[in-house]
Structure 1
């Protein structure tokens, strides 16, 4: 067995022993030893291999798989620009703390700096965005023991899931890691070494256990927050149920983003972004308890930056602190007592009144008409808020919704009705850096990684969809997800219409440099890729299309963005106390 084959097979074997069950591969010559070892492991049923031709798409697929499965997922590439194409997904994984493992094949170290083909400096290519950088190289001869190689895998997986590193305040702050593997020729094995048992010198533990058993993580005890000042709980991306539980325990308003994992039960305030514009409520806030990574709205950022508000963070570092106002950080918290004042009731009354006003503006139900599913039929034309409401309602218990950035997640933030507790609906988004790139691939990965019989919905804008349309390109042998991608299609970037750039002084430049209409036929694009496509223009057509989910499909919801800014202004003025 040649050294590159030995190294590739040992690394894959130890990844399986360490709990890796999904791997994404983009083909290349230098990574051949890993590719063949992964294919053999897939054939044995030890893991599931996903092959993609585009490394950037492959990396976001791995990101989605890690989000959907809650396990570390490697993405394997060859050397050169292939490795560089992983960087966007690694940055997202870093800020969102997703256990993405970048395994990049490299040339032997002696070729660095020689301008040899596809050779660049891949050492610490991703800088501080990764939790650890580890390098291993195929030697001139196969070593007498593979212990060092297996220890490398243990270190990599441990760093990805957060069992190594310094200073976690609560749960370990895992994230992406980079394993750079220098292979030397011959790059492919002899025929007898493609599969079969490893030689005794290279074999792992006889019981199939990982080389290094991770120590169990002991949760820190919860700290008690005094009832004290008037408090709201902010739940950002990946906050988890702890935010909801605290809000319910203390009777505090819960300002929860859609991807927080906390927007269920009776505590969430759906229209919190609008109510933060009412001085009668916002100015009375004295303390904010922050969970997760809140980045969705400017009103929340302004609230966290106020010098008259005590900001408390819960969870592991780094925590969100745009105004450098965090005064205390806790691993976990519980309330000293229940707030028996009228504070929460005031927020709930205002929320109900404001939501009713918003619905009157954007939903406009046709009098007396309901769909076959019992939902109101909205009068045409279809708009983004209607699409968000319908998609939100369509997520079944045990189902999953993946949401793109820009307008769709903001529309969902306003229109999503909180789900009952315990029904295990998962709402996820790439909110680490909140970019639009890689969303199709992320959604495919999340659908493939989700351990549920229910399918996955994805909601995104047309520019987001087009930016990663390569995510639909798969080989005939690849696993197919149960995924319906709902594309809010308005031929451009409507989010900019609601920002400063959408104002009248910039109208001459707006369409070209902000809205960027493409006039791409999404239907023809889907057909070219062999993906089922359906165009809908009304609410009942959308509901009918969602009810017919089967395999990978794209539902294009055609909307008009001409009045987006005007309607957004009406919504901002809809906030009221009762």
Structure 2
């Protein structure tokens, strides 16, 4: 068999195995050493190919696509620093539990660490930020090679798909020449399939949970961002039985289309309420049950840490459970599933405790809803945006202030509005790229991106992807000329260095960026201009709305809102 035939068989076996294990999408950045695999993917009809020349952006694009489709996505690049540019997105994928199949092409073994061009040490390049890493053999005609490759692909995809979801890395070396023969049919699979079970608690664990809840006088449920594919029906069933106040983060997507018989239990304004120390002391709980990740709210974390509940039960699909405050008392290692609906429990409401939460939630919602009438800050802009989002919309949100404003100003709605963000590592890098990838994974829904000016600048290269495949997105940039979140922190009190080190103003506006990428551009200078902004018919699938705001005004308006809420609190 010729070298070209061996190489052809090798790369098509990889592609066939990836498809056999349920992968539907690949994001490719161009490069020489990855040529054989790029050709094999591009010539295969059973997998969707996306392109992005910037590897850093490509990796976040793949992450967004995997997040939206709730399935692994392949990421392919050439050797050298191209592979290193994947690192930020891989870190995010690990901590946000997103399945990525990262394939880095490599120089052959004889060109490693000898000064060859575009050759860096790629073995275990991503360290502990991937769930598993494998260095593949050079393509050859040994009988064991293709069966080994096929099963290693199955292992990697299964590891990425098993709880907790996350990235895996295949490093694949190729010798020149790099051209292949194009095959119309993929090779038949000899490995037939994998079957991954659901993680459920034992009967003994379920009895323990029931006993703790039966003995609880003051109980709370906290719901953060949930694992991909979570069926919310099981949590709603649990809430109906338990009848405790439920603090739901915006990223839980449990603030929209709440079942009627669960609405009374849902608390969305907890961050504003828990900013009050007397209130935190008043609502100390005996038992807290948390589903999903730790929510964004700093004051919820302070509340849990300071109150040290007798029982703080974390329900997590990963035995390496998340507990940044180190106050958890129990882990239930389980996925959210049918077992929650089957729990034989029916609790009575503690009317006094429940009423405090309910009354203050209702009061705070009124103030938040009226904020758009009395203020013109970013909070009012966000509230106006949330009021106008069309039914069936997805809102992707940047870290820093945008996600905090969404958490504050998203009150319960009957519209189908879902919120997403990169909250694994909480960075502002790659947000645009992730949103663009996400838009392809849920193309049946309208996607809006809410982002600050620095985060937008940090990832403006993401828009290169719009030149290679159709994209549909509305980007709302809150331009306060700098890092707005620092205005709320202690750094803002050191005036001498604040603007240079934290405010970091750029004096940039983005109309020319919109022109460069053929985007519709809308400039908003006053809050009144936000009204009806989504009513007009769209002729361009790419839209950039730049909203100019003032950092100092934002801080003052937010603090007025919190003061109004605290002044009317019922203790």
Question: Which band: TM-score by shorter chain?
Answer: 0.7 to 0.9
- Alpha-carbon distance between aligned partners in 2 of 1:159 and 1:105, rounded to the nearest angstrom: 21
Which is helix-richer, 1 or 2?
2
CA contact (8 A) 2:392 2:445 kept: yes
Q: Residue 327 of structure 1 corresponds to which residue in structure 2?
A: 329
Q: Residue 166 of structure 1 corresponds to which residue in structure 2?
A: none
CA contact (8 A) 1:304 1:321 kept: no
| Structure 1 residues 566 and 386: CA distance shift in structure 2, 3 A | closer
Q: With structure 1 as the length reference, what TM-score do the two structures score?
A: 0.87
- Alpha-carbon distance between aligned partners in 2 of 1:32 and 1:526, rounded to the nearest angstrom: 33
1:65-80 paired onto structure 2 within 5 Å:
65-80=65-80
- Alpha-carbon distance between aligned partners in 1 of 2:482 and 2:462, rounded to the nearest angstrom: 20
- Alpha-carbon distance between aligned partners in 1 of 2:300 and 2:529, rounded to the nearest angstrom: 35
**How far did 1:59 drift?**
0.4
CA contact (8 A) 1:68 1:449 kept: yes
> Which deviations, in whole Å up to 9, do the C-alpha atoms of 1:219-255 show, x marking residues without a partner?
4465535231312211112265355543443222222
Q: Residue 338 of structure 1 corresponds to which residue in structure 2?
A: 347
Gaps of 5+ in 2: none
Runs of 4+ in structure 1 deviating by more than 6 angstroms, as ranges, are none
**How far did 1:513 drift?**
0.7
Q: Residue 16 of structure 2 corresponds to which residue in structure 1?
A: 13
> Which deviations, in whole Å up to 9, do the C-alpha atoms of 1:378-401 show, x marking residues without a partner?
x7xx42112222332334443211
**Do residues 393 (structure 1) and 402 (structure 2) align?**
no
- Alpha-carbon distance between aligned partners in 2 of 1:432 and 1:161, rounded to the nearest angstrom: 17
Query: Secondary structure at 1:11's aligned position in 2?
Result: helix
> Which deviations, in whole Å up to 9, do the C-alpha atoms of 1:409-468 show, x marking residues without a partner?
111111112234xx6543111011111000001111111001x52211111111111111
- Count of paired positions: 534
Tell me which of 180, 187, 194 is aligned to 2:182. 194
CA contact (8 A) 2:399 2:427 kept: yes
**Do residues 27 (structure 1) and 14 (structure 2) align?**
no
| Structure 1 residues 144 and 433: CA distance shift in structure 2, 3 A | closer
CA contact (8 A) 1:2 1:142 kept: no
| Structure 1 residues 183 and 260: CA distance shift in structure 2, 3 A | same
- Alpha-carbon distance between aligned partners in 2 of 1:308 and 1:85, rounded to the nearest angstrom: 42
- Alpha-carbon distance between aligned partners in 2 of 1:525 and 1:394, rounded to the nearest angstrom: 25
Query: Secondary structure at 1:547's aligned position in 2?
Result: coil
CA contact (8 A) 1:55 1:77 kept: yes
> Which deviations, in whole Å up to 9, do the C-alpha atoms of 1:150-204 show, x marking residues without a partner?
1111011101111xxxxxxxxx212111111111111111xxx123235xxx532
**Do residues 440 (structure 1) and 443 (structure 2) align?**
no
- Alpha-carbon distance between aligned partners in 1 of 2:152 and 2:399, rounded to the nearest angstrom: 36
Tell me which of 201, 213, 229 is aligned to 2:194. 213
Gaps of 5+ in 1: 163-171, 366-378
Alpha-carbon RMSD across the aligned residues, in angstroms, is 2.3
Tell me which of 348, 364, 369 is aligned to 1:354. 364
Query: Secondary structure at 2:267's aligned position in 1?
Result: coil
1:6-405 paired onto structure 2 within 5 Å:
6-41=9-44, 44=45, 46-141=46-141, 143=143, 146-162=146-162, 172-189=163-180, 193-198=181-186, 202-205=187-190, 211-217=192-198, 219-220=200-201, 223-224=209-210, 225-227=212-214, 228-238=216-226, 241=232, 242-264=234-256, 265=258, 266=263, 267-279=265-277, 281-283=279-281, 284-306=284-306, 308-309=308-309, 310-317=311-318, 318-330=320-332, 331=334, 333=340, 336-342=345-351, 343-360=353-370, 362-364=371-373, 382-405=376-399
